[in-house]
Structure 1
Amino acid sequence: MAWRASLSRNVKEIRFLFCQSSPASGPAREFVKKNYGDIKTRNPTLPVLIRECSGVQPQLWARYDMGVERCVRLDGLTEAQIDKKLEELAKAGVA
């Protein structure tokens, strides 16, 4: 997970959106609980936003330079797959 240390160089902001209670959002909630501390420790200046909204499908957003944003839907993914999606979004920001 060495890519996590360079996350803030490639991405300007990360947003997690999920429902507080839906089973579809369960893996996203668990991922945030388990990984938020590590991500912030390695990238203290990177804004990591967590948005909870009733009934919303779990999503992961990354904002890059010039306001460019990318979204990945997280429904049906495991925590390991969510980590892989975050890595893909981080690598997509390399210019």
Structure 2
Amino acid sequence: MAERLLCPPAPVGRLRIHVYAWYNPRPSLTEEDKMAASVVRSLGSSLGRNLREVRLHLCQTSAASKGVRDFVEQNYVTLKKANLDFPILIRECSGVQARLWVRYGLGKETSVLLDNMSADQVAKALQSLAESKP
């Protein structure tokens, strides 16, 4: 791994402190990942129109939750930046089925099972629930 200096060394007493970041290039995105990213970009700040909350339930280790974990890793920051005040909750629990819960106005909730789905399919499920009305 290569390292690069983030800022020049700052003198502290007789010691100099160096701040390093390890450069680890991300692997290139697959077509499926690119499709999920485009769905998330198209959602943009439209989550708050019909929805009041988004909750993702997933297992940290199961193969059935891999698509949901990939979706969170790749798209959570983008979604959160576009919807700063909107609650997007990630709930991890060992052995739980992967599920997407959305809450509409007046407390109505809907869920979709996400077991064995890819990151792209998770994004499409979120998009369909965000565009639907209760």
| TM value normalised by structure 1 | 0.93
From 97, 115, 128, the counterpart of 1:75: 115
Kindly name which structure, 1 or 2, has the bigger radius of gyration based on alpha carbons.
2
Q: Is the 8 A contact 1:8 1:45 kept in 2?
A: no
Residue 70 (structure 2) pairs with residue 36 (structure 1): no
DSSP 3-state at the match of 1:38: helix
1:54 aligned partner: 94
Deviation, structure 1 residue 4? 2.7
Q: Which protein, 1 or 2, shows the higher relative CO under an 8 Å CA cutoff with sep ≥ 6?
A: 1
The percent of aligned pairs where both chains have the same amino acid is 45
2:103 maps to which residue? 63
- Please give the TM-score of this superposition, normalised by the length of structure 2: 0.67
Query: 5+ residue gaps in structure 1?
Result: none
2:116 alignment partner, SS class: coil
Q: Which deviations, in whole Å up to 9, do the C-alpha atoms of 1:44-69 show, x marking residues without a partner? A: 11101111111001000000000000
| RMSD of aligned Cα (Å) | 1.2
For residue 62 of structure 2, the aligned residue among 11, 16, 22 is 22
Please state which structure has a larger fraction of its residues in helix: 1
Question: Runs of 5+ in structure 2 lacking a partner?
Answer: 1-40
